[in-house]
Structure 1
Amino acid sequence: MQTKIAGTTMPVLEITLEAGERIIAEGGDVAWLTPGLEMETSTGFGSRGKGGFMSGLKRMVGGGQLFLTQYTASSSGGFVAFAAQLPGTIRELAIDSADEYMVQSGSYMVSTPDVEVSVGVQKKLGAGIFGGAGVVFQKLTGNGTAWVQLAGEIVEYELQAGQSLLIHPGHLALFDSTMELEFASIKGIKNKLFGDSMFLAHLHGPGHVWLQSMTPAKLAASIEPYLPDKSSSSSNDN
């Protein structure tokens, strides 16, 4: 298996498979591929044999899809490409019992068959955070490789034992699953969502954390003023 990440602002992950090699991805996320790759969709992929449908439900709770698609190369091999959905970067993660990760919901792209994607953290913080959906992180476990898409520019920190960071939940993209995560209401920061307080993620070391400069919610808010007004269009039609 060979991989290449091409592009800059909107990168593309290209995976070349040898005969019989397989990868797993969420259904519908493929951008292009060579003919001859066998595609099969099931709830059981990525579950490491632990009950396919229940694993699919856990993925859904974590913001993923119920069904995953497996791509298997024929005797002649082939490649499949996946495009990032937001401006940012694609990162490759080696996953084993010593390296398990929490990734923000919607960031998981592709993995090798023995990586399991499940819900890791689910926290309601109020209607203003992520459109009322709360904060959700998917947990990546197993033994293999996964690729995730992170939004905007990425800043990394290695926190030592006793160190911690307060982070806006939308900017917390990826972190070691062994790190302790709490959510706290911080007084003294006036904002339009919570009045005189703001909810921040409190992440404790030791461990590695990846922070993203862009959040999907802020990107959507910046684009919204330029979108057509559907209500006025409906009125004109009548």
Structure 2
Amino acid sequence: MNNHEIDYKIYGDDMQFVEVELDPQETVIAEAGSLMMMDDKIRMETIFGDGTDEQNGFMGKLLGAGKRVLTGESLFMTTFTNEGTGKKHVSFAAPYPGKILPMDLSELGGKLICQKDSFLAAAKGVTVGIEFQRKIGTGFFGGEGFIMQKLEGDGMTFVHAGGTMHKKELQQGELLRIDTGCLVAMTKDIDYSIEFVGGIKTALFGGEGLFFATLRGPGTVWIQSLPFSRLASRVFAAAPERGGSKGEGSIAGGLFDLLGGDRK
């Protein structure tokens, strides 16, 4: 094993967090801002990239961090190392309602391709990079799935999915079309591309995006029912035009709107 072997436990239902158990000198890496709590004697350190390019010097670390910027992530990641004598625990929380998926890369062929904002934490030694798509249409029109992250190694990693998660096994040649934002992760053998929905009326009035992801087996795909972009767009659409609450649902609020009142 090149990665640190970590134990874990997931708590909660819709708003989950994962508790990682670290033996002395074991380390876990995580996205900046995902920490929930940690025991004493755990050292927290901010690093460039994922910490696996240290042997390549400063330029290697800078390149790794630059790749993360292309996926919309921070330049930095955070490591948590147990510097005590016994077992210690550190916990990471999901950023919005959904499920935390534990993925053992040693059982997935050493590589997992996932949505750019789905990575939560992993055992030290897991490489967090970017997965460029071979087809130019995927790059230009992929939406949320246009640049994917790749997680490589043989250790445990934790991925977050919004809403309800569905795992689907695709057989050789089996085809699946999904909304680009609903794709959470897939194994390395999946052939992935972007297609136009087809039909001008469907594209303009269908209520969906102009493009969808086409996945062809064999391999495993993880799908989420609530992409964060969809949740954010609904919240934004429901927000008051001018800051503050308009009193939706209240009799007084409706009366003020009817009379054209201006509530400060």
TM-score bracket for the superposition, by shorter chain length: 0.7 to 0.9
Three-state SS of the structure 1 residue aligned to 2:197 is: strand
Q: Which residue type is aligned with residue 125 of structure 1? A: F
Moved more, 213-222 or 188-197: 188-197
Alignment partner, residue 7 of structure 1: 12
* Match runs of 1:150-189 below 5 Å: 150-188=161-199
Give the drift of 1:181. 0.8
1:56 aligns with 2:65: yes
* Match runs of 1:128-207 below 5 Å: 129=143, 135-188=146-199, 190-192=202-204, 198-207=210-219
Going from structure 1 to structure 2, the CA distance change for 1:47 and 1:196 (only over 3 Å counts) comes to closer
Q: Which residue type is aligned with residue 176 of structure 2? A: L
Moved more, 25-34 or 145-154: 25-34
Moved more, 217-226 or 199-208: 217-226
C-alpha contact 2:175 2:216 (8 A) present in aligned 1: yes
Q: Which residue type is aligned with residue 190 of structure 2? A: M
Going from structure 1 to structure 2, the CA distance change for 1:204 and 1:35 (only over 3 Å counts) comes to same
Give the drift of 1:38. 0.8
1:216 aligns with 2:228: yes
* In 2, Cα distance between equivalents of 1:197 and 1:173: 17
- Partner deviation per Cα, 1:38-70 (whole Å, 9 max, x = no partner): 111111534354521111111221232211111
Ranges in structure 1 where 5+ consecutive residues have no aligned partner:
none
Three-state SS of the structure 2 residue aligned to 1:15 is: strand
Ranges in structure 2 where 5+ consecutive residues have no aligned partner:
1-5, 134-138, 246-261
The equivalent position to 1:41 in structure 2, one of 25, 29, 46, is 46
Moved more, 60-69 or 84-93: 60-69
Q: Which residue type is aligned with residue 78 of structure 2? A: T
Dislocated runs of 4+, deviation >4 Å: 191-197, 230-233
* In 2, Cα distance between equivalents of 1:124 and 1:165: 21
The equivalent position to 2:82 in structure 1, one of 65, 69, 73, is 73
Three-state SS of the structure 2 residue aligned to 1:221 is: helix
Give the drift of 1:33. 1.1
Alignment partner, residue 98 of structure 1: 109
* In 1, Cα distance between equivalents of 2:103 and 2:90: 18
* In 2, Cα distance between equivalents of 1:178 and 1:46: 27
1:20 aligns with 2:25: yes
- Partner deviation per Cα, 1:68-125 (whole Å, 9 max, x = no partner): 1111102244211111111110011111482311111111011111100111146232
* In 2, Cα distance between equivalents of 1:146 and 1:190: 38
- Partner deviation per Cα, 1:138-176 (whole Å, 9 max, x = no partner): 101122111010111111211111111111101111101
Using the aligned pairs only, state the percent identity. 30
Relative to its length, the structure with more strand (as a share) is 1
1:31 aligns with 2:40: no
TM-score between the two structures when normalised by the length of structure 2: 0.78
Task: Let me know the Cα RMSD of the aligned residues.
Answer: 2.7
* In 2, Cα distance between equivalents of 1:90 and 1:17: 19
Give the drift of 1:191. 4.2
TM-score between the two structures when normalised by the length of structure 1: 0.86
Max Rg structure = 2
Q: Which residue type is aligned with residue 123 of structure 2? A: T
Going from structure 1 to structure 2, the CA distance change for 1:186 and 1:94 (only over 3 Å counts) comes to same
